[in-house]
Structure 1
Amino acid sequence: MLRPMTKIPEENYSAVFAGDRPELPKVGDEREVLTSFLDWQRKTLEMKCSGIAPERLSDLGVPPSTMSLHGLIRHLTGAERWWFRLQFAGQDVPMIYYSDEDPEQDFDDLAGDVEEALARWKQECQLSRDIVAEADLDQTGTEIRTGKPVSLRVILVKMIAEYARHNGHADLLRERIDGAVGH
């Protein structure tokens, strides 16, 4: 049975939904559709994290889970870098919140400034957009773990799925923090 959406208190509504997402295209070429859907997902994460005191972004959802909005920001910063810069563009840049010795540090170690993490995420998103703008969808990078080629088209679809999955988590985390639910 579907639960009706909780009415968001007026003071929370504008904070949760500040900054409208662009309307998604109903028609368009493949690049426009893929990049629009990815940017829509990125904006959704940003909206889920807006209007909350920075320290609350590190609130854990439901222990023993270490998931938090701060951790999701860090995780998706790493995903942007991993897929677009390292694997597709072949850039020699270090991972930010990951190491082989501590692969879960994006969620487990929330040391550092949340606002700095959000700014770094936005910067990685822009670097990803720049890479995509200069490349053909059929162009390939190399998956680091397998050595196999992966097309930009596939990477865009993978990132849309990654954000969609984690935006579902973000929705639940946000509801736990202040009761706000939304789109």
Structure 2
Amino acid sequence: MTSWTAPEIHRTEASHDGDELSSLREFLQWHRDTLISKCGGLTGEQLMLKAVPTSPLTLLGLVRHLAEVERWWFRRCFGQDKELGDLYCTEEYEDGDFDLAAADGAEADFATYVREVELADAVAAGRSPDDSFPGRRGDYTLRFVYLHMIEEYARHNGHADLLREAVDGATGE
């Protein structure tokens, strides 16, 4: 029996002359693809390797965390689906996205991530970057969600670079 491995992915560059909304969508997609590309070809066991023993960060934990963040910002906040619960985090395990990740669940976790991205895109489809929703500190816009998500991925993709290099020495942009 062979172990599941994360899919290889081809990243598409964002266009250099798109309108604001197209640019936001394309840059976010590039970052989403970057995360998955950092995992490409690794087994569930490799995705669970910790580069820094004192940190819970793993590549699989990052995939789970970003699925959780996609769900939170696009579906729960922007889409106002207040009944939608967390994927991995609970009151008992606030960092369940990292702490409860397991190598044998990697394939299902990747499928969940892909589905959350699809559902996030569906919630935002046809909407204006100026569309707003109430938040903890006043109103937020879809523009804010895209910019926040790009920032979130950029930070975690930096972590993914270091984690991947520690796993097998692979580097890249």
TM-score (norm 1): 0.86
Q: Which runs of 5+ in 1 are unaligned?
A: 1-14
Distance 2:18 2:45 in 1: 41
How far apart are the structure 1 equivalents of 2:34 and 2:94? 26
Tell me which moved more, 147-156 or 43-52: 147-156
Residue from 133, 137, 149 that aligns with 2:129 = 137
Q: Percent identity?
A: 40
* Candidates 90, 94, 98, aligned match of 2:85: 94
Aligned counterpart for 2:157 among listed residues 140, 149, 167: 167
Partner of 1:7: none
CA contact (8 A) 2:93 2:99 kept: no
Deviations 1:6-37 (A, max 9, x none): xxxxxxxxx99943211221111001100000
- Contact 2:161–2:171 (CA under 8 A) maintained in structure 1: yes
C-alpha spacing 1:71/1:90, structure 2 compared with 1 (3 Å): same
Look at both structures and tell me which one has the larger radius of gyration over its CA atoms.
1
The size of the alignment, in residue pairs, is 167
Asked if structure 1 preserves the Cα contact closer than 8 Å seen for 2:6 and 2:107, the reply is: no
2:24 alignment partner AA = L
Matches within 5 A, 1:1-183: 18-91=8-81, 92-111=83-102, 113-143=105-135, 146=136, 148-183=138-173
d(CA) in 1 for partners of 2:49, 2:18: 40
Q: Distance in 1 between matches of 2:14 and 2:7?
A: 16
Counterpart amino acid of residue 52 in structure 2: V
